[in-house]
Amino acid sequence: MAKTANIDKSPKLAREVASRPKSPTQALPLETATAAPTKRDQILDAATRVFLQHGYEGTSMDRVATESGAARRTLYNQFDGKEALFEAMTARIWASFPVFDITRDEESLRDPKVGLTRLGHAVSNFWIPPEAVAFLRMVISEGPRFPALTKTFFEKGKAPAMDAVATYLEALSKRKLVKIKNSKLAARQFLGLIDEPLLWVRVVGIDETYSQQERDVIVQNAVDMFLGFYLTRQ
């Protein structure tokens, strides 16, 4: 059942939506969209499908070799085993999240609203594909049996992304644009304002969908609430 949000259709919001930065490639690129995929790309695409279909425990190198059409020797030349394959897949997934580019951009560093809005849209778009949610659900459900699974997920993706947001907020504080004492806590607060309505309900299996306009409103509200608390008053 789709979830419908209250939408402000004012001209001001329309202008803000029209002028916001376009989001980059979304998470979990099951097919390479630019140049012809390399053998490594083909194996990682196949591995993504196998992991999501069979889970971490049910995935084997043989299954990935069959799915990718690669010989076992070719597969093992690229990856030592399932753990290395999962690590490479996780790193590629998070590489599609443009947080590092956004947080280092000079315009984002000059204007907190610009930077946070760009970050918000990047987060919103990152979790749109059902495969992205399925991937997170797999990590949560199988992590207790395979601690290395959760460790890889955090070390190769979530932790660096969270640290980048925290570092960005620290940079804004040094410029006296925001007043933040605990940048890591503030980063979690900002991301939580977006992830709570757009991600976590889907992780637990509730079928809520939002239009692009509804996601834009959630992001804008998150930015306004965050800056309403942390923005330095001139």
- Let me know if 78 is exposed, middle or buried by CB neighbors in 10 A (0-12, 13-18, 19+): middle
Residues 155 and 179 occupy one common structural domain: yes
Classify the C-alpha dihedral 18-24-28-32 as positive or negative: positive
Q: Is residue 194, in this structure, part of any structural domain at all?
A: yes
Is residue 108 within 8 A of residue 170, CB to CB? The reply is no
| Count of the separate structural domains present in the chain | 2
CATH of the domain at 40: 1.10.10.60
Cα 189 vs. chain centroid, distance in angstroms? 16
For the question of whether the overall pTM of this predicted structure is more than 0.85, the answer is no
Query: pLDDT confidence of 11, banded at 50, 70, 90?
Result: very low
Please write the tens of the pLDDT for every residue from 148-168. 899 999 888 889 889 999 999
pLDDT reported for residue 185: 97
Residues 89 and 103 occupy one common structural domain: no
Q: Quick one: average pLDDT of 199-220?
A: 90
Amino acid at 124: S
Mean pLDDT of the chain: 85
pLDDT reported for residue 29: 43
pLDDT reported for residue 206: 82
Q: How far apart are CA 110 and CA 159, in angstroms?
A: 25
Domain housing 175? 96-234
Q: Is residue 45, in this structure, part of any structural domain at all?
A: yes
pLDDT reported for residue 20: 44
What share of the chain in percent tops pLDDT 90? 63
